[in-house]
Structure 1
Amino acid sequence: MTVEELAGMTLGDALRAQARMRPDAPALWGDARALTWGQLDAEVDQLAGLLTHMGVRKGDAIGFLITKRPEVVTGFLACARLGAIMAPINFKMHPDRLRFQVESANLRTLIIEREFDELLRPMLSWFTDPGRVLYVGDKGKYGDVTYADIVHHQAPPPVDVTLDDPCYYNYTSGTTGNPKGAIATHRNVQQNGLTAFDRPGIDGLGFDASHVFLGMFSVFAHPHELFHRSILCGGAFVIVDTLNPRVIAETIQRFSVSWMMAVPSFYEMLLDHVEEDRFNLSSLRVLESGGAWVSPDTLARLEQKFGAAFMPVWGSTETTGVAVAMRPDRPRRPGSTGKPVAGYDLRVVDGQGRDVAVGDVGEMIIRGPAVVSGYINSADDGEILFHDGWYHTQDLVRFDEDGFIHFVGRRSEMLKIGGIRVYPLEIERVIKEHPEVRDCVVVRAEERIRGEIPRAIIQRAPGSTLDVRRLQRYCRDRLEGYKIPRIVEFWAQIPKLPNGKIDKAAVLAVPANPDRDDR
């Protein structure tokens, strides 16, 4: 059975097909246990039976408040098999936003670990019906049902699930501050997974069943990407709940991980750790990375140290994953993230929706079968971002003459300095090329006379003595004067979101302080 045929099935049916084709082949590897495709399918059936016994029906949204463990995958796929909807909950959110998520998704059932009981206590009053709670691991205070009870259940009666049924609410930040849940269907997830594979006449990303995949995603940031490629080809994937470089290096060595996906800052941490401890990471072949720009120097160091090819990618919640990539076995273009992957149409348009000329900056809009159709209970955002089948990303980009995409910045983050448009991303890229900079972010600040000015927050590399004057002198040789950061702060750590991207809201919440230097 081909990957195209499997991508034309619902997630539950694709899992069943893999279990029949390769029942004894490894599917999931974790710290404490492993599952073959046959065992994974059987466990998903049992969990679906337990959820049905608890009252879950097609169309119900199920909240997931658990750490990254195999039950994230079995739970996701059990929901998919029942026609229910996985709704991962970010336990780091403010209680008001948690409540908005619970109420907007109309959650009635929660899969949870006991360690989150204190967070669960107020949540129960937000449920429209008495909440149904299933504990993973030890039993908690608010229910008697545990995951171990699946041994008493078998597959439920078949449910009529279609490719266009929702399977997943993927929450992202909203323009009003509340999270907005992108409604991902089985088709969206499967079609995004399909883009990874080379097919006759179609270039994918080069993924295939020979790869052991390790995705460094959290439970509440694209958990489907932990497994959705592997389910189409029958390859193995690894689940590990840590960002500790030593543990990740041990995991790569233990399971012979060949394809990894993480944000650049994590690869840099791993790079430093490997230089110290010399793990055997020779199995690595591809380092896929999105969420931030990587300097040519860092890219070269990564490829040299790991002996693996680095692949920049771009994707979003609304595209259900990677939509732009630069394959390492194809010609590269410095400063670019690559080209649209198969299955996505992409345009660069001006404020009136007209295509801009090659080399001109415009907003990137995108469509395809993996692009979601909108958000749950969020009509305003949907009207702003979705028009005539196109998703308006708010990202400012330009196409070059060879079709490579160059990201310029976010529309909302653009600065106007003396009437001139300035994009923070351009400044960040220059600063990140400095050998004494580990990470940085440039945001808008206000000055009484000049108005808007660039403010740079910098995390030094280990052992660095970089100061403001040296940094500004470095920028002066590479940037126009008005783009040089007027405020430079050195922070010990720059806050990050669960997906590894810089938390710009948290950065902006800290008042500018030109004297800050966390040594």
Structure 2
Amino acid sequence: MLKQRLAEVVKKYPDKTAIAYDQLRISYQQFYNYITHLSNHLSTAGIGQGDCIALILPNSPEFAIAFYATAKLNAIALPINPLLKEDELKYYIIDSNTSAIVTNSDGAEISRKIISKIDRKIELIVLDETDILTKELDNSTITESIPTFIGDVLYQYSSGSTGRPKRVCKTQSNLYHEVKNFTESTNITSADNILCVVPLYHAHGLGNCLLAAIQNGATLVILEQVSHQGKIIEVPFVFRRARVLELIEKENITILPAVPYILNTLAETPNDTQIDISILKLCFSAGNFLSKDIFDKFLQRFGIPVRQLYGCTEAGAIAINLDENIKNTYTSVGLPLKNIDIKIIDDAEKEVPTGSIGEIIVKSQALTEGYCNKPELNRQVFKDDWFFTGDLGKKDEIGRIYITGRKQIFIDTGGYKVDPLEIENILISHDRVKEAVVVGIKGSYAGEVIKAVIVPQNRDICDAKDILAYCQEKLADFKIPKIIEFRDEIPKSPLGKILRKNLIDNLSETIRS
């Protein structure tokens, strides 16, 4: 369904810019030709329907081309954060039974290391070491018949209570309906320009940036990566702020999907900076709760209200607040998107009255059928076509949704959502660590700082710097604790439940990395 819709868009807007990246402009016809060239290359390498292709790529035109080339083959794309370390990447590659890795020169070395340690054939395609995106391409119009395919096209990983990410499979039908629901609710058209400043490997970036743009014939403007000595590097968003504001003006950006961390940084633009971003018709936040402070600061600085979007890996975008008088309802994630049903239920799975808090459950054609190889968990959270999100919320009298809490604990750090249990599992694998609990504490800016509380096997021989070095080997930089605290014991309730709130304050012996 995705590839069929893409062909329709290409036929309708062949010369229109599909992707803008720094000085590069790729028309829809060129985009389709690159996709065809890469899909042919993958096919020649023996990759076909049902095979998994890992995309270890930063935000770039190459990511978009590789994703759609995968869809064209009826294969399954696995977008992975390129900042992850070897052990993290290896877990995803093995768990998904990856047949090929598509990456760039930055990811080539680590990909080769991983492949050498896996006892089966995995093709490696390094895009900037081939002619795939530089070859002169035929700009002939589409003449091939594009059959409808509704099968599997995407693997994504959702963190949860196990501490190990769970694999979610989405079909082309799921993604088609996700875009359809979002488009019908927000009125995205081919006249829109969408700025991508969030990761494309994440559900927010893939669904609300890449798919929302391409499936509607809009233009996707991707914030270019920062390079140092020929290598792409990650820099704090504050150093990209001026460039983002410049792009909004220069590229006539009408839609800005973001997260609270990014919006807070933009809102703190010095008052003496002359900038006009009034062309934005829709600026929305996802990934974490948008505080009143950030909402007010952004509105005051730019005169534009930020709208909250609610979504998840399993179901994509679910609800968005499009209220006209949003100052009174900014805390709400709004009404369900078109074609999506939401209920608030109690522990007996009965719908609760208006205003009462319960668990949010969702039904939609964009919803995955379940987690791969997790039958017991699927029976718990996928029931009668409903997904039990684990989020707590309520509805008001007109059906607006308010998120009030979570059954699961995540840490929002620098725009990334981190599962503390994943870090805890790494920490307790250290031979000098007896117990470990990871929490998020309020940072100086928006978001949280990761703090690890450790009970050592022997305090005299457990060194905080050694713990940090151990984490640096096994975790992406954004997951590494910034604060390490040693304690003799972890505070627990009489029933043995860890009292995480007691660990957020009252630092004892700590080290800040």
- The bucket for the TM-score relative to the shorter chain is 0.7 to 0.9
TM superposition shift of 1:57: 0.6
1:436-467 C-alpha deviation (Å, 9 max, x unpaired) = xx9xx9x99xxxxxxxxxx88222359xxxxx
TM superposition shift of 1:319: 0.8
Residue identity in the other structure for 1:212: N
Match of 2:149 in 1: 162
Residue 129 (str. 1) matches residue 124 (str. 2): no
Match of 1:449 in 2: none
Match of 2:432 in 1: none
Residue 326 (str. 1) matches residue 321 (str. 2): yes
SS at match of 1:409: strand
Match of 2:188 in 1: 207
C-alpha distance 90-456 of structure 1, shift in aligned 2 (>3 A): closer
Match of 2:67 in 1: 76
Residue 248 (str. 1) matches residue 239 (str. 2): no
Conserved 8 A contact 2:260-2:288: yes
TM superposition shift of 1:336: 1.7
C-alpha distance 228-345 of structure 1, shift in aligned 2 (>3 A): same
TM superposition shift of 1:85: 0.9
C-alpha distance 408-281 of structure 1, shift in aligned 2 (>3 A): same
Residue 514 (str. 1) matches residue 501 (str. 2): no
Residue identity in the other structure for 1:240: L
Instruction: Please give the alpha-carbon distance, in whole angstroms, between the structure 2 residues aligned to 1:158 and 1:129.
Output: 35
TM superposition shift of 1:90: 2.5
SS at match of 2:37: helix
TM superposition shift of 1:314: 0.5
Instruction: Please give the alpha-carbon distance, in whole angstroms, between the structure 2 residues aligned to 1:18 and 1:510.
Output: 55
Conserved 8 A contact 2:161-2:408: no
Matches within 5 A, 1:275-314: 275-314=271-310
C-alpha distance 509-390 of structure 1, shift in aligned 2 (>3 A): farther
TM superposition shift of 1:159: 7.7
C-alpha distance 517-87 of structure 1, shift in aligned 2 (>3 A): closer
Aligned residue pairs, count = 427
Residue identity in the other structure for 1:227: L
How large is the Cα RMSD of the aligned pairs?
3.5
Residue identity in the other structure for 1:206: N
TM superposition shift of 1:334: 4.6
Moved over 6 A (4+): 152-159
1:42 maps to which of 28, 33, 47: 33
Conserved 8 A contact 2:323-2:334: no
Instruction: Please give the alpha-carbon distance, in whole angstroms, between the structure 2 residues aligned to 1:217 and 1:456.
Output: 21
Unaligned runs of 5+ in 2: 226-236, 422-438, 447-477, 487-502
Residue 113 (str. 1) matches residue 99 (str. 2): no
SS at match of 2:268: helix
TM superposition shift of 1:404: 1.7
Instruction: Please give the alpha-carbon distance, in whole angstroms, between the structure 2 residues aligned to 1:334 and 1:188.
Output: 29
Instruction: Please give the alpha-carbon distance, in whole angstroms, between the structure 1 residues aligned to 2:191 and 2:163.
Output: 42
Instruction: Please give the alpha-carbon distance, in whole angstroms, between the structure 1 residues aligned to 2:376 and 2:485.
Output: 29
1:205-231 C-alpha deviation (Å, 9 max, x unpaired) = 232222210132213212422221223
SS at match of 1:460: coil
SS at match of 1:346: strand
Identity, in percent, stands at 22
Residue identity in the other structure for 1:303: L
Unaligned runs of 5+ in 1: 1-9, 140-144, 199-203, 414-423, 429-437, 445-454, 463-502
1:283-341 C-alpha deviation (Å, 9 max, x unpaired) = 22221111222333432331232233321111000112x21111043665253221211
Conserved 8 A contact 1:50-1:149: no
1:181 maps to which of 132, 150, 167: 167
Residue 101 (str. 1) matches residue 86 (str. 2): no
Instruction: Please give the alpha-carbon distance, in whole angstroms, between the structure 2 residues aligned to 1:218 and 1:168.
Output: 16
SS at match of 1:38: helix
Match of 1:465 in 2: none
Instruction: Please give the alpha-carbon distance, in whole angstroms, between the structure 2 residues aligned to 1:394 and 1:509.
Output: 29
Instruction: Please give the alpha-carbon distance, in whole angstroms, between the structure 1 residues aligned to 2:374 and 2:162.
Output: 10
C-alpha distance 174-508 of structure 1, shift in aligned 2 (>3 A): farther
